[in-house]
Chains A and B, each alone.
Chain A
Amino acid sequence: MALLDIENVNVAYGDVQVLFDLNISVHEGEVVSIIGGNGAGKSTMLKTISALMQSSSGSIMFDGKPMHNLPPEEVVNHGLVHVPEGRRLFSLMSVRDNLLAGAHNKKAYAVREKTLEEVYTMFPRLEERQDQAAMTLSGGEQQMVAIGRGLMACPKLLMLDEPSLGLAPILIAEIFRTIRAIADKGLTVMLVEQDVKHSLSLSDRGYVLEHGRAAMEGAANDLLDSPYIREAYLGI
């Protein structure tokens, strides 16, 4: 059984349906990329999984338990953690307090000092800046805080929404290297990206979302080699 199983999920904003009978699964230890253009429904999908949005039908099972009837704060308790698009840091709080706020659920709070040390080892720059307000950091550093804050919640599955958004190319490469390093430690990652080349090349599998439907799925390498992806998403 997959760690995360999304079955026949339909989501609408009022009268406008965004996701149509979506089926996606993520297995333990995998890195899965969800790629697609603007408006394909990628962020809506993540918001539905983390219960910020309600699906009109379908089921979302995580670790064998249904998630689609829970409020967002309880989804986190099960280890399903969503790092939102645009980072969404607590701007006036210090870097350290942002990270500690990530460890709010009881299980994560008990081991917060240990996790904090791991996050600081992964992002030494955050330790240097731990007392600075999050809003004073650069874009790349803010993304590190966002990922670190997600890790502080002790996730079983980390869902990242466009971590490369608005970053300089050199920082994008660094963020993707970090994501790969996190996955190599055994954490399951679901990566939603518009940067198709980078995200597929560090993933095991991928889905292509188009107009709210899963248009393609397969091993990440196969997708990278597919003529359709090369033409539509990579422009080669």
Chain B
Amino acid sequence: MDLVFIAQDCINGVLMGLIYGLVALGLTLIFGVLKVINFAHGSFLMVGMYVAYWAVTLSGLHPYLALVIIVPAMFLFGYWIQNLLIRPIFIAEKNVREPITVIIVTTGLWYVLDNLALLVFGPDYRALAPNPLKGQMLEFGEIFISVPKLYGAIATLATAGGLYLFLQRTRLGRAVRATSLDREAASLMGIGQWKIFNIAFGIGTAVAGISGAVLTPFYNVYPTVGIPFDIKSFVIVVLGGLGSIWGALVGGVIVGLIESVGPNFMASTWTEGIVYALFLLVLFVKPSGLFGQKQDW
């Protein structure tokens, strides 16, 4: 076995892992604030990919420039989904901190969105066109780096950094953190729970939109494209710690590395088994995840 191959796989694994982390970032943010898992997150990614696909196809913009359309559109989408669909459940079950019915509703939303996409866009696999990043590679001796994945990894770090600064440094970010820690105490400080829930859901969905723009240059769009990412994101946020930004990135890189380096040593179908074994191990040994903080509230 050649070390160059391993190095190549490591680079691919880290790049792809960071992009997995980007998808998981939206999920972890929504969980961190609402304390419920959004099972429709993969479908939000799918919607983000279609929005990116059509934004680029219709406007001819570079997919990363199309973010100026994608991010606000997806933010509003998430904001209103929470406001119209999820908030009423929280109100109906206001004595329950983590209403399980929200999980059922988001699962329903997943089916509705995926099938709506099937109805409207058909089952075709669509490749982005025009695609300025198509198949581009950087060469370093014998090592090749995929340009769209490299851009995706950079976009991930920029998004994570931006989110971190937003949460730590701004008035609204502080209000989001306060709500995530104690929503009743936050409301006594003048921080409206529903507004913060809407905004957090909007941001999480906007991040799914960024993921869509990052993925479309090298990943086909189809109605069920979100499902593999949804399951992976869930594993990643549990690995990294639910609610932790950096945990999502580290969890993503771990999964990415196992997936890309693993096949050198075993049949590639086994790598998935390793990912889930690690997932279980973390649940047994450190249920709050690698970067999760135990909190009581």
Is the beta-carbon distance between A88 and B182 smaller than 8 angstroms? yes
- In the complex, whether A10 has a CB less than 8 A from a CB of chain B is no
Is the beta-carbon distance between B185 and A89 smaller than 8 angstroms? yes
Residues of A within 8 A of B190 (CB): 73-74, 76-77, 104-105, 108, 153
Q: Mark B253-297, 1 if CB is under 8 A from A, else 0.
A: 000000000000000000000000000000000000000010111
Given the known interface contacts A97-B174, A109-B171, the answer about A102 and B181 at a Cβ–Cβ threshold of 8 Å is no
Is the beta-carbon distance between A92 and B293 smaller than 8 angstroms? yes
Is the beta-carbon distance between B192 and A92 smaller than 8 angstroms? no
Is the beta-carbon distance between B295 and A101 smaller than 8 angstroms? no
Expressed in whole angstroms, the minimum distance between the Cβ of B139 and any Cβ of chain A is 45
Residues of A within 8 A of B187 (CB): 52, 71-73
- In the complex, whether A81 has a CB less than 8 A from a CB of chain B is yes
Is the beta-carbon distance between B293 and A101 smaller than 8 angstroms? no
Q: Mark A75-119, 1 if CB is under 8 A from B, else 0.
A: 011000111100011111100010011101100110000000000
Is the beta-carbon distance between B184 and A149 smaller than 8 angstroms? no
Expressed in whole angstroms, the minimum distance between the Cβ of B60 and any Cβ of chain A is 43
Distance in angstroms between the alpha carbons of A108 and B193 in the assembled complex: 19
Is the beta-carbon distance between A92 and B181 smaller than 8 angstroms? yes
Which of A83, A89, A93 meets B177, CB within 8 Å? A93
Within 8 A of A (CB), among B163-219: 171, 174-175, 177-178, 181-182, 184-193
Distance in angstroms between the alpha carbons of A158 and B184 in the assembled complex: 17
Which of B182, B184, B189 meets A153, CB within 8 Å? B189
Residues of A within 8 A of B175 (CB): 101, 104
Residues of B within 8 A of A81 (CB): 188
Residues of B within 8 A of A108 (CB): 190
Is the beta-carbon distance between B295 and A91 smaller than 8 angstroms? yes
Is the beta-carbon distance between A104 and B188 smaller than 8 angstroms? no
Distance in angstroms between the alpha carbons of A113 and B171 in the assembled complex: 13
- In the complex, whether A50 has a CB less than 8 A from a CB of chain B is yes
The SS class assigned to the B binding surface is helix
Is the beta-carbon distance between A76 and B174 smaller than 8 angstroms? no
Distance in angstroms between the alpha carbons of A89 and B226 in the assembled complex: 38
Closest to B191 in A: A104
Which of A77, A83, A101 meets B178, CB within 8 Å? A101
Expressed in whole angstroms, the minimum distance between the Cβ of B238 and any Cβ of chain A is 19
Closest to A159 in B: B188
Is the beta-carbon distance between B185 and A76 smaller than 8 angstroms? no
Expressed in whole angstroms, the minimum distance between the Cβ of B41 and any Cβ of chain A is 24
Distance in angstroms between the alpha carbons of A92 and B191 in the assembled complex: 17
Distance in angstroms between the alpha carbons of A108 and B175 in the assembled complex: 14
Residues of B within 8 A of A91 (CB): 181-182, 295-297
Residues of A within 8 A of B295 (CB): 91-92, 135
Q: Mark A40-52, 1 if CB is under 8 A from B, else 0.
A: 0000000000101
Closest to A82 in B: B188
Max chain A Cβ within 10 angstroms of own Cβ: one of B171, B177, B185, B187: B185
Given the known interface contacts A91-B295, A92-B293, A92-B295, the answer about A52 and B188 at a Cβ–Cβ threshold of 8 Å is yes
Expressed in whole angstroms, the minimum distance between the Cβ of B293 and any Cβ of chain A is 6
Is the beta-carbon distance between A149 and B192 smaller than 8 angstroms? no
Distance in angstroms between the alpha carbons of A81 and B175 in the assembled complex: 17
Is the beta-carbon distance between A93 and B178 smaller than 8 angstroms? yes
Distance in angstroms between the alpha carbons of A97 and B176 in the assembled complex: 12
Which of A71, A82, A100, A135 meets B192, CB within 8 Å? A71
Residues of B within 8 A of A105 (CB): 190
Residues of B within 8 A of A77 (CB): 190
Which of B181, B192, B293, B296 meets A90, CB within 8 Å? B181
Max chain A Cβ within 10 angstroms of own Cβ: one of B174, B181, B188: B188
Expressed in whole angstroms, the minimum distance between the Cβ of A12 and any Cβ of chain B is 14
Given the known interface contacts A97-B177, A104-B171, the answer about A88 and B191 at a Cβ–Cβ threshold of 8 Å is no
Closest to A81 in B: B188
Residues of A within 8 A of B177 (CB): 90, 92-93, 97, 101
Residues of A within 8 A of B191 (CB): 73, 101, 104
Is the beta-carbon distance between A76 and B189 smaller than 8 angstroms? yes
Distance in angstroms between the alpha carbons of A168 and B41 in the assembled complex: 48
Which of B189, B193, B293 meets A149, CB within 8 Å? B189
Residues of B within 8 A of A73 (CB): 187, 190-193
Is the beta-carbon distance between B181 and A84 smaller than 8 angstroms? no
9 interchain residue pairs of minimum CB distance = A76-B190, A88-B185, A73-B192, A105-B190, A72-B187, A90-B181, A101-B178, A104-B190, A90-B178
Q: A73-B193, A88-B185, A102-B189 are in contact. List 17 more A-B contacts (CB 8 A).
A: A74-B190, A81-B188, A84-B188, A88-B182, A89-B185, A90-B185, A91-B182, A91-B297, A93-B177, A97-B177, A100-B171, A101-B174, A101-B175, A101-B191, A104-B171, A104-B189, A135-B295
The contact sample of 16 A-B pairs, CB cut-off 8 A, is A72-B187, A73-B190, A76-B190, A77-B190, A82-B188, A90-B177, A90-B178, A91-B182, A91-B296, A92-B177, A92-B293, A100-B174, A101-B177, A101-B189, A108-B190, A153-B189
